[in-house]
Amino acid sequence: MLYGYNGKILRVDLSQGIISADEPDESFYQHYIGGRGFISYFLLKELAGGEDALSPKNRLIFAAGPVTGAPIAGGRNSVGAKSPLTNGYGDAEVGGYWGAELKQAGYDAIIIEGKSENPVYLWIEDGKAEIRDARHLWGKTTGECQELIQKELGDRGVRVAQIGVAGENQVRYACVINDLSHAAGRTGMGAVMGSKKLKAIAVRGHQKVALSDAGAVNSLARWVRDNFKTNKLAAGLSENGTAGGLTALSTTGGLPTRNFQQGTFDGADKISGAAINENILVERGGCYACPIRCKPKVAVGEPYNVDPIYGGPEYETIASLGSNCGIDNLEAIAKSNEMCGAYGLDTISAGASIAFAMECFEQGILTEKDTGGLKLNFGNAQAMVQLIAMIARREGIGEVLADGVTRAARVFGKGAEDFAMHIKGQELPMHEPRYKQGMGVGYAVSPTGADHCHNMHDSLYVKRVRDELKALGIFEPLPCQDLSAAKVRMLVYGSLWRHVLNCLVSCVFVPLSTRQITNLIEGITGWEVNLWELMKVGERCVAMTRAFNIREGMTKADDYLPHRFFTPFTSGPLEGVSVDKGDLDRAIDTYYAMVGWDKNGVPTLAKLQELGIEWVAEA
Amino acid sequence: MLYGYNGKILRVDLSQGIISADEPDESFYQHYIGGRGFISYFLLKELAGGEDALSPKNRLIFAAGPVTGAPIAGGRNSVGAKSPLTNGYGDAEVGGYWGAELKQAGYDAIIIEGKSENPVYLWIEDGKAEIRDARHLWGKTTGECQELIQKELGDRGVRVAQIGVAGENQVRYACVINDLSHAAGRTGMGAVMGSKKLKAIAVRGHQKVALSDAGAVNSLARWVRDNFKTNKLAAGLSENGTAGGLTALSTTGGLPTRNFQQGTFDGADKISGAAINENILVERGGCYACPIRCKPKVAVGEPYNVDPIYGGPEYETIASLGSNCGIDNLEAIAKSNEMCGAYGLDTISAGASIAFAMECFEQGILTEKDTGGLKLNFGNAQAMVQLIAMIARREGIGEVLADGVTRAARVFGKGAEDFAMHIKGQELPMHEPRYKQGMGVGYAVSPTGADHCHNMHDSLYVKRVRDELKALGIFEPLPCQDLSAAKVRMLVYGSLWRHVLNCLVSCVFVPLSTRQITNLIEGITGWEVNLWELMKVGERCVAMTRAFNIREGMTKADDYLPHRFFTPFTSGPLEGVSVDKGDLDRAIDTYYAMVGWDKNGVPTLAKLQELGIEWVAEA
């Protein structure tokens, strides 16, 4: 008996219209767990390398994990595919309720292959799946689409994961939206979904997955409910959301501002978590079975008219569309966030692309002729809002920016590359590598390009991060501006653990200790697990995603930071601070060696063998 | 508050007669735990490399661990130094009661440096230590010496770790004897002790080390007491001792016989655990707070007159002095075992040296002229008994054999090297590398030369070994005659765990699961520990011991098997079976890569940094 899973993976061939189910054996589940583990496994096994990410050959995988559907913040799933943004490994995690519903509908994952001729959506209910016409949904906002699907299926309880017009138009950083207000944002998964003409996946399930020890799981869930308010991070998130630390970050000098030109933003107070609470918050939302409720729901009246069904802006969104565009107009940011939700755009890449365009404009690389009359100066909130719609619809300069900064820079020419803040083609999230230098290394070596989700080990002021590292055997804190081998070790251990959470799929904000999470997995699955085994699952993810990228032709040269970060800040608290290129290169080499890659960044055969995944070498 | 330790390491400079104590901080204890962890740390830090192992510069370290002194088979300690046998890293573990007494006397370890002018012994009682004259003890058997010390200290409860005349004479495989019947056998620690003119360490302690959660520890101890009889391995050991499997091993073809010429011995039944029980067993003995009592105590009458105070022969002893010398006379083997105890000789190396001499004799390399008239044919029990005394006293041919087979072969010449079954200068223990091929790899790469204590992963017929590997994430068993990368992975994971047990210092025969041992460490120390951290402690040992050997000039060329094992058995169940040299070389290379050594077998800087022991690179 397999606890915590359904033992079934739904497979949908949209070209053929064929639906089937894989039933992997238990050892598959034990070795790869879920989420990124599943995705990297199937992408390696089922792609050959070199496929166009937007071709029917790509696989789009929705993967749950053992925590998904469990009564303890179990709303999350991962979405993965070859990324149209990086042409390498792509995946993104998302919260909400859809993931739990998928598990309760009888599946642990969905593998989508091929491409439908006409727009379709997938309808999954209690172990049955059906491909349905979606021509009437194509072009609709996510809000309209969810409404229509729920109506035609006659059930308000149906959960919908879907793309907006950005995904339909294959904007390379289009996202997948769960439950309207939760986004699998990064790496362009919405574009892949759009390329397959798959508008949505609607799910409804009435059967909770059997837990091995429901009592133990419920007791951990109760512990979270009773104790999260005493945990500084969780309590802060519950009160101020992810943007709670924005002002402090600006004061310290680490808030990305005007396309990473500065680290401090004058208007920080106006766009902080506190400002949201004071001015536009309607209520706080959250995810399935999570008491923390860190998600803002905001409403704004004229002229922006923001609808709370799309939630509200998170830290990444506010910094990306706010400080990084030089904008301190919270209502405009909230509007942009709503539009990104309605159109299905990743707010980070959208904001970063706009910031890039603004700097190009200020540098004279773009003129009003190029922008269709938009004065794209930093701080122009009105222009930002217009540009978002243009990107989603691929209109005017939006057509170029829809392909991301790296491709847009090539189109613009005139040295625009200097202002394209990306790694491997993916735009930087809102963590400044001159401030959090360990994260800079993490950015450079991440399989998905610039990605902040598995390298928060600089944030040692957060007790949770310190506790995580302590559980992994690292007792001494180190400063943010440190690229020593000891710091790289923190990245390696810390990010392995984050990979584990990604496989589970469990939210990093739930204040469970490493130990409690180990107990949780045992309670869910009935397996006797320990941290060594779990970390090895994380190591498998690191090796498999790297192998995927190598098969796609990536090399050591793709592990870098934009050269802006080697230039010191010229103002602010971190004036004079930059990343030392030599230190960074050494740190990258050290990272390679620590995770078992050779000096060219290729996982050694012995490392694959040590992880029991020798098959990766052949793949 | 440091639980499970005293926080004090006794330091004795015998040249100066100075006694002091180190008080390391808690992080030292957390990173190195005890046993091999302590020994490799201090040897790296305090030696410079190139010292003569028998010079005053060598350090002799007696190291306990958190389990030592705990009420759960807590009698064990390790003894370490640069080895006079291998000129590399040396240590040996030993059971009995002395280790527990040391902890209760207030110390976690003892570091002996320098050399006394005249024989002395060390007397430690309840946090005080004193160097005492031992001129009257020099030349005495271990039995006489213990008796005299207890008498002069007026306390029968005094525990004694000591050398016999073999150690006094610096026989290179002299051992340290605890409580008369327990030996820190391998790597010649008794010779180092003899070189320092230190006859014995007598200890008495009345203060049990504080445990963080005595209830949890006691409950695990109770569990062992109540359940060991349902564990096949422990129950078998309790009934038949370590020699219980000897007959089966002979039937399978894996019993070292006549200096590893065969794998099956006709007289196996006569020297088995069952034969001991039937014919010479007086009672079973054991170690501090251990209910299993796997140690035989034997008595034999005329003509051999074996005294039960020295215990009785274990599997290694019986095979080494029995089948491997072609001897099926159990009484003679028991006598030889008694003499090794009384003189302080490692029974494995003693038997292996005699077997080597026997083969040289049969090959005509040695004649009766060389042996002083002894007819050193395989099977000559009388000659064996005489030879043991000659080795301990360095008399006649014993003078040559006292330096071990590698040095003796150089003296004998005439191709004697072909019959010298050693690795790095240490004689092979009684596990046949053509049968247990995974152990063969373990032999080759072990820091102490041929050593069976941390590479039992071939023994997958033993449920405990399977369970251990399962806990480490390896679920599929593999055959003994397999040198695949998957098998090397078993060696790596399995031996890391054995290194952890060595640090604890905990006996592998206690039927506690990996999980229970983790809980035990928590109960003892109060630290929240997990298997990841513990395995990293094991990795530190692997790296530190290797670094020590490299500093001493060892290279990849020192990781080998004697070429006999590349020649197939010509008879028995394993007729035609040999180790494939190419497979072995590949396995060794794979081992290097998996543990983070470069292709020359040198730990990479990144591995040291990953383990938080960058200092090793400088040492």
Predicted ipTM? 0.93
Cβ-defined contact of B607 to A593 (cutoff 8 Å): yes
Instruction: Output the pTM of the full model.
Output: 0.95
Q: Which residues of A touch B29 (CB under 8 A)?
A: none
pLDDT at A23 over 80: yes
Instruction: Report how far residue B173's alpha carbon sits from residue B348's, in angstroms, rounded to the nearest whole number.
Output: 9
Provide the Cα torsion B229, B232, B235, B240; round to 10°. 160
- Of A534, A589, A604, nearest to B593 by CB-CB distance is A604
Query: Hey, CA dihedral for A27, A33, A37, A42, is it positive or negative?
Result: positive
For B524-573, write each residue's pLDDT tens digit: 999 999 999 999 999 999 999 999 999 999 999 999 999 999 999 999 99
Interface test with B, best of A609, A615, A616 (most B CBs within 10 A): A609
Nearest residue to B196 (alpha-carbon basis) of B117, B122, B82, B129? B117
Contact A94, A178 (CB under 8 A): yes
Cβ-defined contact of B515 to A530 (cutoff 8 Å): yes
Q: Which residue has the tokens 């943007």?
A: A243
Interface test with B, best of A482, A532, A540, A592 (most B CBs within 10 A): A532
Distance from CA of B472 to the nearest CA of A (A): 6
Instruction: Report how far residue B259's alpha carbon sits from residue A500's, in angstroms, rounded to the nearest whole number.
Output: 50
Contact B411/A at CB under 8 A: no
**DSSP conformational letter for B56:** T
Q: Which residues of A touch B532 (CB under 8 A)?
A: 472-473, 530-532, 534-535
Pairing relation of β-strands B18-22 and B9-13? antiparallel
The whole-number pLDDT of residue A453 equals 86
Distance from CA of A364 to the nearest CA of B (A): 46
Partners of B422 in beta bridges: B427
Contact A618/B at CB under 8 A: no
Distance from CA of B533 to the nearest CA of A (A): 5
- Of B473, B589, B609, nearest to A590 by CB-CB distance is B609
Which residues does A208 contact at the CB level (< 8 Å), separation at least 6? A69, A104
> What mean pLDDT value characterizes chain B?
96
Which residues does B80 contact at the CB level (< 8 Å), separation at least 6? B36, B39, B40, B43, B60, B61, B63, B89, B90, B91, B92, B189
Number of A:B CB contacts under 8 A? Answer: 96
Interface test with A, best of B597, B605, B609 (most A CBs within 10 A): B609
Cβ-defined contact of B531 to A528 (cutoff 8 Å): no
Tokens of A596: 């078992």
> What mean pLDDT value characterizes chain A?
96
Q: Which residues of A touch B614 (CB under 8 A)?
A: 485-486
Q: Give pLDDT < 50 ranges for chain B.
A: none
- Of A27, A489, A605, nearest to B612 by CB-CB distance is A489
**DSSP conformational letter for A603:** B
Q: Which residues of A touch B607 (CB under 8 A)?
A: 593-594
**DSSP conformational letter for B428:** P
Contact B593/A at CB under 8 A: yes
Task: Report A:481-500 residues touching B (Cβ under 8 A).
Answer: 485-486, 488-489, 492
Which amino acid does the sequence have at A102?
L
Cβ-defined contact of B533 to A530 (cutoff 8 Å): no
Pairing relation of β-strands A9-13 and A109-113? parallel
Task: Report B:536-575 residues touching A (Cβ under 8 A).
Answer: 536
Contact A120, A202 (CB under 8 A): no
Which residues does A256 contact at the CB level (< 8 Å), separation at least 6? A263, A319, A320, A323, A324, A428, A430, A431, A432
Q: Which residues of B touch A30 (CB under 8 A)?
A: 475
Tokens of B238: 């309790």
Partners of A11 in beta bridges: A20, A111
Buried b (16+ CB within 10 A) or exposed e, B441-475: bbbbbbbbbbbbbbbbbbbbebebbbebbbbbbbe
Cβ-defined contact of A531 to B536 (cutoff 8 Å): no
Which amino acid does the sequence have at A259?
N
Nearest residue to A161 (alpha-carbon basis) of A102, A83, A239? A102
Instruction: Give the number of other Cβ atoms within 10 Å of residue B106's Cβ.
Output: 22
Q: Which residues of A touch B483 (CB under 8 A)?
A: none
- Of B27, B533, B593, nearest to A606 by CB-CB distance is B593
Q: Which helix (H) or strand (E) holds B423?
A: strand B422-423
Whether residue A505 is preceded by a cis peptide bond, meaning omega within 30 degrees of 0, is: yes
Contact A210/B at CB under 8 A: no
Distance from CA of A568 to the nearest CA of B (A): 29
Cβ-defined contact of A488 to B528 (cutoff 8 Å): no
Instruction: Report how far residue B598's alpha carbon sits from residue B600's, in angstroms, rounded to the nearest whole number.
Output: 5
Angle between helices A485-504 and A35-46 (to 10 degrees): 90
Which amino acid does the sequence have at B236?
G
Q: Which helix (H) or strand (E) holds A78?
A: strand A77-82
Tokens of B125: 């009682």
Q: Which residues of B touch A594 (CB under 8 A)?
A: 606-607, 609-610
The whole-number pLDDT of residue B1 equals 84
CA distances in angstroms from B31 to B28, B140, B530, B550, listed in the order given: 5, 40, 13, 22
Q: Which residue has the tokens 């004799």?
A: B361
Q: Which residue has the tokens 């613009």?
A: A412
Contact A474/B at CB under 8 A: yes
3-state SS track over A113-165: ECCCCCCEEEEEECCEEEEEECCCCCCCCHHHHHHHHHHHHCCCCCEEEECCH
Distance from the Cα of residue B519 to its chain's centroid: 26
Q: Which residues of A touch B518 (CB under 8 A)?
A: 530
Instruction: Report how far residue A444's alpha carbon sits from residue B230's, in angstroms, rounded to the nearest whole number.
Output: 54
Provide the Cα torsion B389, B394, B398, B400; round to 10°. 160
For A276-331, write each residue's pLDDT tens digit: 999 999 999 999 999 999 999 999 999 999 999 999 999 999 999 999 999 999 99
The whole-number pLDDT of residue B457 equals 76
- Of B489, B607, B609, nearest to A609 by CB-CB distance is B489
pLDDT at A232 over 90: no
Which residues does B582 contact at the CB level (< 8 Å), separation at least 6? none
For B487-518, write each residue's pLDDT tens digit: 999 999 999 999 999 999 999 999 999 999 99
Buried b (16+ CB within 10 A) or exposed e, A88-103: bbbbbbbbbbbbbbbb
Burial bucket for residue A117 (CB in 10 Å: 0-12, 13-18, 19+)? exposed
Instruction: Report how far residue B520's alpha carbon sits from residue B529's, in angstroms, rounded to the nearest whole number.
Output: 10
Pairing relation of β-strands A60-63 and A109-113? antiparallel
Tokens of A161: 């994961």
Distance from CA of B475 to the nearest CA of A (A): 8
SS3 B331: helix
SS3 A269: helix
- Of B535, B590, B614, nearest to A532 by CB-CB distance is B535
Contact A602/B at CB under 8 A: no
**DSSP conformational letter for B291:** S
Percent above pLDDT 90 for chain A: 93
Contact A514/B at CB under 8 A: yes
**Given pLDDT bands bounded at 50, 70 and 90, which one contains residue A97?**
very high
**Given pLDDT bands bounded at 50, 70 and 90, which one contains residue A530?**
very high
For A447-489, write each residue's pLDDT tens digit: 999 999 877 777 776 788 888 899 999 988 889 999 999 999 9
Closest-CA residue of B relative to A603 is B593
Instruction: Report how far residue B36's alpha carbon sits from residue B45's, in angstroms, rounded to the nearest whole number.
Output: 14
Contact B553, A566 (CB under 8 A): no
Q: Which residues of A touch B528 (CB under 8 A)?
A: 471, 515
Q: Give the mean model confidence (pLDDT) for residues A163-182.
A: 98
- Of A474, A531, A593, nearest to B604 by CB-CB distance is A593
Instruction: Report how far residue A244's alpha carbon sits from residue A276's, in angstroms, rounded to the nearest whole number.
Output: 9
Contact A396, A370 (CB under 8 A): no
Contact A471/B at CB under 8 A: yes
Q: Give the mean model confidence (pLDDT) for residues A110-124.
A: 98
Distance from CA of B174 to the nearest CA of A (A): 38
Q: Which residues of B touch A489 (CB under 8 A)?
A: 609-610, 612
Partners of B204 in beta bridges: B125
Closest-CA residue of A relative to B474 is A612
Contact B472/A at CB under 8 A: yes
Interface test with A, best of B530, B585, B595, B613 (most A CBs within 10 A): B530
Alpha-helix residue ranges (DSSP H) falling in A253-346: 273-279, 315-321, 330-343
Closest-CA residue of B relative to A607 is B594
**DSSP conformational letter for B93:** E
Instruction: Report how far residue A263's alpha carbon sits from residue A323's, in angstroms, rounded to the nearest whole number.
Output: 9
End-to-end CA distance of chain A: 31
The whole-number pLDDT of residue B464 equals 80
Instruction: Report how far residue A436's alpha carbon sits from residue A439's, in angstroms, rounded to the nearest whole number.
Output: 5
